[in-house]
Structures are given as structure tokens and as C-alpha cells.
Amino acid sequence: MENQNISDIIEAYLKQILAESQEVEIRRSEIANQFNVVPSQINYVIKTRFTIQDGYVVRSKRGGGGYIRIEKVKLLDNLDFIDSLVTAVGDHITRHDGLAVVRSLFEAGTINRREANIMLAAIDKTALNTGDRDLDEQIRAQILISVLDHLRYES
């Protein structure tokens, strides 16, 4: 709390707006100015904190009147939602993105907190630590997909 980095602050600012409206549209240079960072840092914040795994869709336009629009994704039915997560997982996934997937499931109400914690425990660095990062990411993807497939039946 005492020493938050600026990316976290920008993330919080945007999510606060998104808590009240469905989407937020910004001018990149304005936000960069407002928080006193270079414009490309806004891209960094979006790339690391507003991914599809997190449940956000980002559209943008360049040139005069350009913008970046972040939209909180509306979940379709459960099955489509799980499909989209399976696609997002793919055949490799980092811990960071894996966490986002589990969080999405939780926020969508597909799983509860206890179930989320079990999933997280199964894919965290304690569990997957072969020494080969690529292999870890592959196994993490397989575990997630296996669990996601199971969630299809129970829902």
C-alpha cells in the first residue's frame, strides 16, 4: 500500500471506472500525462491487466480522434464461457495468465472460492516446478483444460 507501483495505480483507476460503467474509453496520451508516465506504459498496463483471461476486451483506433476502449466482457452461457477459456488457455499458459483464468471462473460464479483455491494450488509454482519452464506451462495448460472440461459436465 505504501509503495505501489504506478502500473497498479493506473489499473485501479481504470477498474474503478469499470466498476460503474460497462466500458471505459481513454485517450492514451491523456492518461499517460495524468499519471506522468510515457504513453507506452498504458499499453503495458492493458497488456498485463486487461486481458481476455481477465474478462476484458480492448479495442482501439489510431489517428485523429483515436482512443483505447476497454470493455468488461459479458459472459454468455456457461458452456460458451468455458469454451472461450479453453481457447484462451491453449497449449501453454503462464502462472500469471492461469491465475486470471481461475479468477474469471470465480467471478463468473462458475466456481466458488474454495474451488478456486484448489485450482490455484494445483497450478501454482509449488505444484509445477520441473525446471523446464516451457514444460511447466504446457502441463499447467493441460491441468486447466482438464478441470475446465470437468466443469462443463457439472454445470
Partner DNA sequence: GTTCTTTTGACTAATGTTGACTAATATTAT
Partner DNA sequence: ATAATATTAGTCAACATTAGTCAAAAGAAC
Which residues would be at the binding site for DNA (CB under 7 A)? 3, 5-8, 26-29, 37-44, 46-48, 58, 60-68, 94-96, 125, 133
Q: Strand 23-26 relative to strand 67-72: parallel, antiparallel, unpaired?
A: antiparallel
Under rule CB under 8 A, residue 27 binds a second copy: yes
The tally of CA atoms less than 13 A away on the side-chain side of residue 54 is: 17
CB of 12 to a second copy, least distance (A): 12
Strand order in the sheet with 67-72: 23-26, 67-72, 56-61
Q: With beta carbons less than 8 A apart as the criterion, state whether 45 and 7 touch.
A: yes
Using CA atoms, how far apart are residues 49 and 60, in angstroms rounded to an integer? 16
CB of 139 to a second copy, least distance (A): 6
What residues contact residue 13 under an 8 Å CB cut-off, 6+ apart? 35
Residues 52-111, interacting with a second copy (CB under 8 A): 63-65, 67, 111
Under rule CB under 8 A, residue 130 binds a second copy: yes
Q: Which is nearer to a second copy, 16 or 130 (CB)?
A: 130
Choose the one of DNA, a second copy, none that binds residue 21, judging by a C-beta under 5 to 8 angstroms depending on kind.
Answer: none
CB of 78 to DNA, least distance (A): 26
What letter represents residue 111's amino acid?
I
**124 dihedral zone (left: phi>0; alpha: psi -120 to 50; beta):** beta
Q: Which residues bind a second copy (CB under 8 A)?
A: 1, 3-5, 8, 25, 27, 63-65, 67, 111, 113-115, 117-124, 126-130, 135, 139, 142-143, 145-147, 149-151, 154-155
